[in-house]
Amino acid sequence: MGKCALITGASSGFGAACARALAEHGWKLVLTARREEKLQALGRELAGKTRVHTLALDVRDGDAVAAACAGLPQEYAEVDLLVNNAGLALGLEPAHQAVLQDWETMVDTNVKGVMYCTRAILPGMVARNRGHIVNIGSVAGSWPYPGGNVYGATKAFVQQFSRNLRADLLGTAVRVTNIEPGMAETEFSQVRFKGDDDKAQRVYTGSEPLRPEDIADIVLWVASVPARVNINSVEVMSVHQAWGPLAVHRS
Ligand SMILES: NC(=O)C1=CN([C@@H]2O[C@H](COP(=O)(O)OP(=O)(O)OC[C@H]3O[C@@H](n4cnc5c(N)ncnc54)[C@H](OP(=O)(O)O)[C@@H]3O)[C@@H](O)[C@H]2O)C=CC1
Ligand SMILES: O=CCS(=O)(=O)O
């Protein structure tokens, strides 16, 4: 049965939408996140469509990531598509007021988590000369905004890591894509504002943000183009979002 995709952060938002889209197209799935009950519910939902293996995993724990990937059941051991999606923003304070622990959590998750998962899965892809790593970056990796400080910097890492992986993988058939979404309505803002639902909702009020399934459609597309084609990056925004002008302070 079908190719195998491993998705990090599959308990919510983009990751869950990717699982649904890939299941519709015959991919068998390894779904990972910390909230196991959410993964299991998604696994039950998709059971009629494909084979699903759920795995409680915190991507910040490099040893756990290595052990989980090395110990995948045989049916799921050859991962064809790794979606490095698990990630988060914490806080929107200016740098001089930000919480240092939030910065550390973002680096540990968005930077080190992507490193750990990639390093665990990539050797098998290279050995099989087959595979695709899709990283979920962000417009915040290219475009600065007030309060984006470390979150944007982690996504700039994801962007350049993706490009450097491509450089390393030249001569193999392994593909790498960085998808860079703008504002999308998921649990992202609830997490960023630490459960303040009003603040989270205000991010989207009066506009039409991207939906998780929009990103899942793009993941499916980049994974479905002919094997000779590597989509390097996709920057995508809602039509209700665009860049701002450069800022000028006037006294
Ligand atoms: N929504 C947006 O506007 C945008 C989001 N992004 C990026 O998209 C990705 C997905 O976010 P989105 O779907 O929006 O947000 P959600 O908060 O809805 O989903 C985030 C997912 O990441 C998982 N996750 C977080 N921390 C960890 C961890 N330490 N270990 C394992 N899993 C973890 C969560 O699972 P659990 O809590 O169960 O562990 C959850 O499944 C992130 O990388 C985010 O930065 C990029 C651009 C725009
Ligand atoms: O990555 C998320 C989009 S934004 O909130 O940084 O604009």
Over residues 106-146, the pLDDT tens digits come to 999 999 999 999 999 999 999 999 999 999 999 999 999 99
In tens, the pLDDT along 144-174 reads 999 999 999 999 999 999 999 999 999 999 9
Report the interhelical angle of 113-128 vs 62-70 (nearest 10°). Answer: 30
Residue 145 known to be catalytic: no
Residue 190: pLDDT band with limits 50, 70, 90: very high
Q: Which one of 188, 190, 199, 214 would you pick to mutate in the ligand 2 pocket, going by the greatest count of ligand atoms within 8 A of its CB?
A: 188
Instruction: Enumerate residues lining ligand 1, CB below 6 A.
Output: 8-9, 11-15, 33-35, 38, 57-60, 85-88, 109, 136, 138, 181, 183-184, 186-188, 191
Q: Tell me, in angstroms, the distance from the centre of ligand 2 to residue 175's CA.
A: 25
Predicted TM-score of the model (pTM): 0.99
What residue owns the CA closest to ligand 2's atom 1? 138
Query: Residue 72 has what pLDDT?
Result: 98
**Can you give the pLDDT at residue 2?**
87
Name the pairing type of β-strands 233-236 and 175-181. Answer: parallel
Confidence of residue 96 (pLDDT cuts 50, 70, 90): very high
Nearest CA to ligand 2 atom 5: 183
Determine the distance separating the centroid of ligand 2 and the alpha carbon of 88, expressed in angstroms.
10
Burial (CB count within 10 angstroms: exposed 0-12, middle 13-18, buried 19+), residue 143: middle
Q: What is the mean pLDDT of the chain?
A: 98
Pocket test for ligand 1, best of 38, 186, 187, 189 (most atoms within 8 A of CB): 186
Q: Is the dihedral of CA 16, 78, 137, 217 positive or negative?
A: negative
Is the ipTM, as predicted for this complex, more than 0.85? yes
Cα of 182 vs centre of ligand 2, distance in Å, is 5
Residue type, 28: K
Q: Do residues 5 and 28 touch, judged by C-beta distance below 8 A?
A: yes
Ligand 1 atom having least distance to the Cα of 14: 13
Residue 194 has pLDDT above 90, yes or no: yes
pLDDT in tens, 67-81: 999 999 999 999 999
Q: What is the DSSP string of the chain?
A: ---EEEEESTTSHHHHHHHHHHHHTT-EEEEEES-HHHHHHHHHHHTTTS-EEEEE--TT-HHHHHHHHHT--GGGSS-SEEEE----------GGGS-HHHHHHHIIIIIIHHHHHHHHHHHHHHHHT--EEEEE--GGGTS--TT-HHHHHHHHHHHHHHHHHHHHHBTBS-EEEEEEE--B-SSHHHHHTTT-HHHHHHTTTTS--B-HHHHHHHHHHHHHS-TT----EEEE--TT--PPPPP----
Residue 1 has pLDDT above 70, yes or no: no
> What distance in angstroms lies between residue 149's CA and the mean position of ligand 2's atoms?
11
| 92 within 8 A of 135, measured Cβ to Cβ | no
Q: What is the mean pLDDT of residues 96-105?
A: 98
